Amino acid sequence: MTLPRSTPSAQGVDASGILDLVDAVEREHLGLHSLMVVRHGHVVAEGWWRPYAADRVHLAYSLSKTLTATAVGFLAQEGRLSLDDRVLDHFPELDPNAVAPGWDDVRVRHCLSMTVGHEEDAWTHVFDRMNGYDFDAAGDWVPRVFATTPTRDPGTVFAYNQVATYVLAVIVRQLTGGGVADVLHPRLLVPLGVQESIPWHRDPLGRELGFTGSHLTTETIASVAQLYLDRGRWNGRQLLSEAWVDEATRAFGPLNEDPGADEDWRRGYGYSFWMQRFGFRGDGAYGQFLVVLPEHDTVVAVTAEQQRMQSTLDALWEHLVPAIGAPGSAAAEAALAERLAGLEIPAMTGEALGPDHAEFNRSSSSDLAPDYAAVSVTREGAELVLGLARRGEWLRVPVGVGAWRESELVAAGATLPVVASGGWVDEDTFRAEVIAIETPHRFRVEARLRSADADLTWRMVPLTGHDPMWLSTRWT
Q: What is the DSSP string of 280-299?
A: EEEEETTTEEEEEEGGGTEE
User: 180 burial class (0-12, 13-18, 19+ CB within 10 angstroms)?
Assistant: buried
The whole-number pLDDT of residue 106 equals 98
**Single-letter amino acid, residue 386:** L
Pair 112, 271: CB distance under 8 Å: yes
Q: Find the helix packing angle between 218-229 and 64-77, rounded to 10°.
A: 50
Distance CA 74, CA 72 (A): 5
The whole-number pLDDT of residue 138 equals 61
Beta partners for residue 299, in sequence order: 38, 292
Does the pTM of the predicted model rise above 0.85?
A: yes
Q: Where are the domains of the chain?
A: 9-341, 357-475
User: 366 burial class (0-12, 13-18, 19+ CB within 10 angstroms)?
Assistant: buried
Distance CA 292, CA 300 (A): 7
User: How big is the CA angle at 214 (ends 337 and 51), to the nearest 5 degrees?
Assistant: 35
The whole-number pLDDT of residue 67 equals 98
CA 173 to chain CA centroid, Å, is: 22
Closest of 115, 23, 44 to residue 315, by C-alpha: 23
Pair 465, 129: CB distance under 8 Å: yes
The whole-number pLDDT of residue 130 equals 45
DSSP helix/strand/coil, 222: helix
Tell me the fold of 9-341.
Beta-lactamase (3.40.710)
User: 353 burial class (0-12, 13-18, 19+ CB within 10 angstroms)?
Assistant: exposed
Closest of 321, 306, 228 to residue 272, by C-alpha: 228
Chunk the chain into consecutive blocks of 10 residues (it has 476) and report each block's average pLDDT, rounded to whole numbers.
92 98 97 98 98 98 98 98 98 94 97 97 75 58 94 96 97 96 96 93 93 98 98 97 97 91 95 98 98 98 97 98 95 97 97 96 97 97 95 97 97 96 98 98 98 98 95 92
